[in-house]
Amino acid sequence: MKKRGRGIACMWYPIGFTVAANPSAAVVKVNEDGTATLLTGTVETGQGSLTVLGQIAAEELGIATEDVHVVSADTDTTPMDTGAIASRTTYVTGNAVRLAAANAKDVLFGIAAGMLGVNADQLEARDRKIQVKGYPARHLPIGTVAHQAQVVRGEPPLGSASWNPPTVPMDPETGQGKPFNTYVYATQIAEVDVDDETGEVEVLRVVAAHDCGTPINPMLVEGQVQGGVSMGLGFALQEEILFDGAGRQLNPNLTNYIMPTSLDMPEVEVDIVDSYDPTGPFGAKGVGEPTLVPTAAAILNAIHDAVGVRITSLPATSEKVLAAIKAKRAAAKALTKPA
Amino acid sequence: MADEPKLGEQQATRVSEPLEAPALRVPALPPASPYPIETRVPKVRQQTPAVGQRATRPDGRLHGLGQTKYIADLTLPGMLHAKIKRAGIASARIKRIDTSAAEAMPGVMAVLTGREIPVNSFGPSFQDQPVLADDRVYHAGDGVAAVAAVTEQIAVEALDKIVVDYEPLPAVLDPLEALREDAFKVHAPNSNVYATKVIKRGDVEQALAGAYRVFEGRFTTQMVEHVPLEPHASIAEWDANGRVTIHTSLGRITLGRADVARTLQLPINRIRIVATVVGGNFGGKNEITQEPVLALLSKKTGRPVKGVYTRTEEFIASTTRHPFVMDYKTGVSRDGRLLARKVRLVLDGGAYCSWSETTLGKACILSGGPYNIEHLQLEAYAVYTNKTMTGAMRGFGAPQVCFAYESHMDDIAHALGIDPLDIRLLNGFEEGSASPTGQVLQSVVLKRSLEKAAERFGWKENDS
Choosing among 3.90.1170.50, 3.10.50.40, 3.30.70.420, 3.40.50.620, the CATH entry for B80-168 is 3.90.1170.50
* A41 neighbourhood in chain B, CB within 8 Å: 253-254
B316 touches chain A (CB under 8 A): yes
Question: Mean pLDDT across chain B, nearest whole number?
Answer: 94
Residue B170 φ then ψ, to 5°: -60, 155
Cβ atoms B253, B273 nearer than 8 A: yes
Cβ atoms B408, B330 nearer than 8 A: yes
Instruction: Report the sign of the C-alpha dihedral through residues B416, B420, B425, B427, in that order.
Output: positive
A215 to chain B, closest Cα gap in Å: 6
The CATH fold of domain B175-225+320-457:
Aldehyde Oxidoreductase; domain 4 (3.30.365)
CB-CB: which of A65, A276, A313 is closest to B50? A65
Largest Cα separation within chain B, whole Å, is 109
Cβ atoms B410, B420 nearer than 8 A: yes
Look at residue B162 in the predicted model and tell me its pLDDT. 98
pLDDT digits (tens, 9 = 90+) for B131-173: 999 999 999 999 999 999 999 999 999 999 999 999 999 999 9
Reference B236, options B226, B225, B247; nearest CA is B247
Cβ neighbours, 10 Å, residue A70: 23
Q: What is the mean pLDDT of residues B42-66?
A: 93
B32 pLDDT band, cuts 50/70/90, is low
Look at residue B8 in the predicted model and tell me its pLDDT. 46
Among the ranges given (A185-189, B2-6, B187-191), the one the predictor scored with the smallest mean pLDDT: B2-6
CA gap B56, B170 in Å, rounded: 54
* A94 neighbourhood in chain B, CB within 8 Å: none
Cβ neighbours, 10 Å, residue B40: 7
* B220 neighbourhood in chain A, CB within 8 Å: 312-314
The residues with which B94 forms a beta bridge, in sequence order, are B166
Interstrand relation of A68-72 and B80-86 (parallel, antiparallel or unpaired):
unpaired
Please, which residues 94-123 of chain A have a Cβ atom closer than 8 Å to chain B? none
Look at residue B65 in the predicted model and tell me its pLDDT. 82
Among the ranges given (A211-215, B63-67, B157-161, B360-364), the one the predictor scored with the smallest mean pLDDT: B63-67
A49 touches chain B (CB under 8 A): no
Q: What is the mean pLDDT of residues B16-33?
A: 65
Tell whether domain B233-317 is in CATH 3.30.365.10: yes
The pTM (predicted TM-score) of the whole model is 0.94
* A217 neighbourhood in chain B, CB within 8 Å: 52-55
Same topology for domains B80-168 and B175-225+320-457, yes or no?
no
Look at residue B17 in the predicted model and tell me its pLDDT. 64
**Contact (CB<8Å) A58/B48:** yes
Domain chopping of chain B, boundaries: 80-168, 175-225+320-457, 233-317
**Most B CBs within 10 Å, among A3, A6, A10, A162, to test the B interface:** A10
A110 to chain B, closest Cα gap in Å: 22
From the number of C-beta atoms within 10 Å of its C-beta (0-12, 13-18, 19+), residue A23 rates as middle
SS3 string, B293-339, reads: HHHHHHHHHCCCEEEECCHHHHHHHCCECCCEEEEEEEEECCCCCEE
Domain chopping of chain A, boundaries: 2-14+183-334, 24-162
From the number of C-beta atoms within 10 Å of its C-beta (0-12, 13-18, 19+), residue A129 rates as buried
Q: Is the peptide bond before B58 cis (omega within 30 degrees of 0)?
A: no
Q: Say how many CA atoms lie within 13 Å of B176 toward its Cβ.
A: 7
Please, which residues 160-189 of chain B have a Cβ atom closer than 8 Å to chain A? 171, 173
- Asked if the ipTM is above 0.95, the reply is yes
B248 touches chain A (CB under 8 A): no
* A273 neighbourhood in chain B, CB within 8 Å: 445, 448-449, 452
A112 to chain B, closest Cα gap in Å: 20
**Most A CBs within 10 Å, among B220, B402, B423, B426, to test the A interface:** B402
Q: Give the helix ranges, DSSP H, for chain A.
A: 49-61, 94-116, 142-147, 218-237, 295-307, 318-336
Question: Per residue of chain A (339 residues), what is the pLDDT tens digit?
Answer: 999 999 999 999 999 999 999 999 999 999 999 999 999 999 999 999 999 999 999 999 999 999 999 999 999 999 999 999 999 999 999 999 999 999 999 999 999 999 999 999 999 999 999 999 999 999 999 999 999 999 999 999 999 999 999 999 999 999 999 999 999 999 999 999 999 999 999 999 999 999 999 999 999 999 999 999 999 999 999 999 999 999 999 999 999 999 999 999 999 999 999 999 999 999 999 999 999 999 999 999 999 999 999 999 999 999 999 999 999 999 999 988 765
Q: What is the mean pLDDT of residues B162-191?
A: 97
Reference A304, options B422, B408, B458; nearest CA is B408
Look at residue B18 in the predicted model and tell me its pLDDT. 61
Reference A274, options B448, B429, B454, B430; nearest CA is B448
pLDDT digits (tens, 9 = 90+) for B113-133: 999 999 999 998 999 999 999
pLDDT digits (tens, 9 = 90+) for B96-111: 999 999 999 999 999 9
> What are the helix and strand counts (H, E) for chain A?
6, 11
pLDDT digits (tens, 9 = 90+) for B265-277: 999 999 999 998 8
A124 touches chain B (CB under 8 A): no
SS3 string, B70-129, reads: CHHHCCCCCCEEEEEEECCCCCEEEEEEECHHHHCCCCEEEEEEHHHCCCCCECCCCCCE
**Contact (CB<8Å) A240/B224:** yes
**How far is CA B229 from each of CA A43, A254, A288, B280, B284, rounded to the nearest angstrom?**
16, 11, 18, 6, 12
Please, which residues 140-199 of chain A have a Cβ atom closer than 8 Å to chain B? 170, 173-180, 182-183, 185-189, 191
pLDDT surpassing 90 at residue B10: no
Choosing among 3.40.50.12780, 3.30.365.10, 3.40.190.10, 3.60.20.10, the CATH entry for A2-14+183-334 is 3.30.365.10
Instruction: Report the sign of the C-alpha dihedral through residues B402, B406, B409, B415, in that order.
Output: negative
Look at residue A68 in the predicted model and tell me its pLDDT. 98
Choosing among 3.30.2290.10, 3.10.20.30, 3.40.50.300, 3.30.365.10, the CATH entry for A24-162 is 3.30.365.10
Q: What is the mean pLDDT of residues B87-93?
A: 98
* B371 neighbourhood in chain A, CB within 8 Å: none
CA gap B178, B185 in Å, rounded: 8
The residues with which B327 forms a beta bridge, in sequence order, are B218, B344
Q: What is the mean pLDDT of residues B299-326?
A: 98
B278 touches chain A (CB under 8 A): yes
Please, which residues 280-299 of chain A have a Cβ atom closer than 8 Å to chain B? 282, 285, 288-290, 292-298
* B58 neighbourhood in chain A, CB within 8 Å: 50-51
| Residues of A with catalytic roles | 289
Cβ atoms A117, A75 nearer than 8 A: no
CA gap B246, B248 in Å, rounded: 6
Look at residue B276 in the predicted model and tell me its pLDDT. 86
CA gap A239, A29 in Å, rounded: 46
